[in-house]
Homo-oligomer: A and B are copies of this chain.
């Protein structure tokens, strides 16, 4: 069989060699993995989830084990509405504005397929979340990125990029205002307002990807763009993956009902509906405040790990490293003076430490001295040892 002749160019367009590498080396016990993006399983509220799973399968087994509506289980959508309102100040949302998805990744994919034609522009932060880039590339969009300077998106440069493009080609602005992946940067209120103004001026639709805003380390939860959005201009995406558990594979999109209906048509042909059992488990968890009650613990564990990483980076690398100390999220994005992190990767692997080279996270003008470092999964000892192995690798 001549399998290559069967393929379109899509698998190549979306292929991610770094991701494959990460997975391949993750299984090697001696390797300290700072490249991934996994939560620490010790913070999963597994006993509560066990109780909940038992209750769901006793009280609601007929519905929880069945197919469910493509837009999501009504009980779960109702709880999402309440959760967004009480935790994040996103109010006035109705259930017909919500689409439940298999992680927010699937909502992003379905939204891109619903909106992006080849040659359409998607404006992003630069660098940005690499799997989002793959999604937009899968639909042949042109990516145009504006830099994050000292932790703030340069909105003026973004506006400049927008101006340069034909109005009918301006499709989406994809941003992570809180704990941006990879930079860990969070937009100030001023930056958020500026971005909304520009979006209004050019009639742009913003996609706000917000997995992390409740996972914060300085005692305050930042306000999502969506909470400041008066025109349904912001399509908001979030997930249970960081606040509860990624294994439940649940995310959602909040948007105008017209868009929700269109994206649901597409989501339906992708997988009919999102995992029903998980949706019931998450609905029960939200209703009984398992997530909110667990957040303090998550923040405590991750604050300590973040501190271990930034302290060790500063101590070991001194003035050879540059980064924004993340106020939330899971990553430190570091620039190492005079280092090419792409070419150094092989040596790092020989030294049993893995990071995500930053160059492939840029949509243009890659910084070859950058690396994304995860601090949530490894233990504090491993974080410190991992940073020392980076030193040995780079200098």
Contacts and interface: CB of A to CB of B under 8 A. Distances in A.
B38 A61 contact: no
Contacts of A57: 46, 49-50, 53
Contacts of A358: none
A270 interface: yes
A135 interface: yes
Given A11-B262, A268-B14, A278-B277, A65 B53 contact: no
Q: Is the interface of A mostly helix, strand, loop or mixed?
A: helix
Given A41-B62, A49-B57, A134-B269, 12 more contacts: A2-B203, A4-B258, A7-B115, A10-B114, A14-B269, A41-B61, A65-B246, A65-B248, A67-B247, A68-B247, A105-B272, A249-B276
Nearest to A280: B247
A6 B106 contact: no
Interface in A100-116: 101-103, 105-106, 109, 113-116
Contacts of A65: 41, 44, 46, 49, 245-248
A99 to B, nearest CB: 12
Interface residues of A, number: 83
Nearest to A135: B269
Contacts of A248: 65, 275, 277
Nearest to A114: B11
A282 B337 CA distance: 49
A265 interface: yes
Contacts of A23: 69-70
A263 B7 CA distance: 9
